[in-house]
């Protein structure tokens, strides 16, 4: 790193601190930015700052949005009585990409993991229960990953919901164990959804 002046090193470090960016890529990105017209750099910086400032959780489903209520929750054509529970915003996007799911979502922002010290209070689970109390819901589809954490979370949620009498189902385990939902093809996702079973 001593080959570079401190400003350049700082820029490389900043890129290298991002997930999936190794040293080589970080250097490439840094030099790319340094060669960009300065207006383009201003624009890029502004996009980053504005996105961070304006994007927040949907007050209903907790996905990321730049409005109080996300476009899915605000859409009257969606079936608001069916809630699919997913771990991340990327999982939601994977199901949306299939274009075949017409219900709404609830994003947990994680999964219960005793090993990592992540408990029920560390994910948006209370918020789900409040929703179930205040809204008229027919079915909750649990679409957490089929990892140990995902399964633990699914069991926990189903135990919580069971006494309310609301139907709880779990997507079929056609989804590879430990597989991140976002990397699974649409057909597998649809099959998992259609083959869901009541738990």
CB 152 within 8 A of CB 112: yes
**Which region among 34-42, 59-67, 87-95, 189-197 touches Zn ion (by CB under 5 A)?**
59-67
Q: Which is nearer to Zn ion, 70 or 89 (CB)?
A: 70
CB-nearer residue toward Zn ion: 89 or 193: 89
Among 11, 58, 84, 154, binds Zn ion (CB under 5 A): 58
| End-to-end Cα, the chain, rounded Å | 55
Closest Cα partner for 172 from 199, 137, 138? Answer: 199
Residue pair 117/175 in contact (Cβ under 8 Å)? The answer is no
Among residues 11, 70, 141, 189, the one that binds Zn ion under rule CB under 5 A: 70
Q: Tell me the helix, strand and coil percentages in the chain, rounded to 5.
A: 50, 15, 35
The window from 25-33, 47-55, 63-71, 128-136 that contacts Zn ion (CB under 5 A) reads 63-71
**Least distance (Å) between residue 65 CB and Zn ion:** 7
- CB proximity list for 10: less than 8 A, separation 6 or greater: none
Task: Say if residues 110 and 122 touch (Cβ distance below 8 Å).
Answer: yes
Closest CB to Zn ion among residues 28, 80:
80
Q: Which of 11, 73, 85, 189 binds Zn ion (CB under 5 A)?
A: 73
- Interface with Zn ion (CB under 5 A), residue from 12, 30, 61, 84: 61
For residue 99, which phi and psi values (nearest 5 degrees)?
70, 10
CB nearer to Zn ion: pick between 45 and 130: 130
Backbone torsions φ then ψ of 137, nearest 5 degrees:
-110, 135
Q: Which is nearer to Zn ion, 50 or 69 (by Cβ)?
A: 69
Residue 83 found at the interface with Zn ion (CB under 5 A)? no
Interacting residues toward Zn ion by CB under 5 A: 58, 60-61, 70, 73
């Amino acid at each position: 790193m001593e080959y570079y002046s401190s400003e350049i090193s700082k820029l490389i470090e900043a890129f290298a601190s991002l997930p999936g960016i190794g040293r080589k890529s970080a250097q490439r990105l840094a030099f790319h930015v340094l060669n960009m017209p300065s207006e383009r750099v201003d624009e890029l910086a502004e996009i980053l700052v504005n996105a961070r400032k304006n994007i927040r959780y949907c007050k209903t489903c907790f996905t990321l949005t730049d409005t109080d209520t996300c476009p899915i929750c605000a859409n009257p054509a969606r079936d608001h009585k069916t809630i699919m529970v997913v771990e991340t915003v990327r999982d939601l996007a994977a199901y949306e990409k299939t274009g075949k799911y017409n219900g709404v979502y609830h994003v947990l922002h994680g999964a219960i993991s005793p090993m990592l010290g992540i408990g029920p209070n560390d994910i948006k689970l209370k918020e789900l229960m409040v929703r179930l109390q205040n809204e008229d819901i027919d079915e909750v589809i649990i679409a957490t990953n089929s990892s140990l954490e995902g399964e633990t979370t699914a069991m926990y949620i189903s135990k919580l919901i069971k006494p309310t009498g609301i139907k709880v189902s779990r997507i079929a385990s056609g989804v590879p164990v430990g597989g991140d939902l976002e990397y699974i093809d649409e057909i597998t996702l649809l099959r998992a959804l259609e083959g869901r079973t009541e738990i």
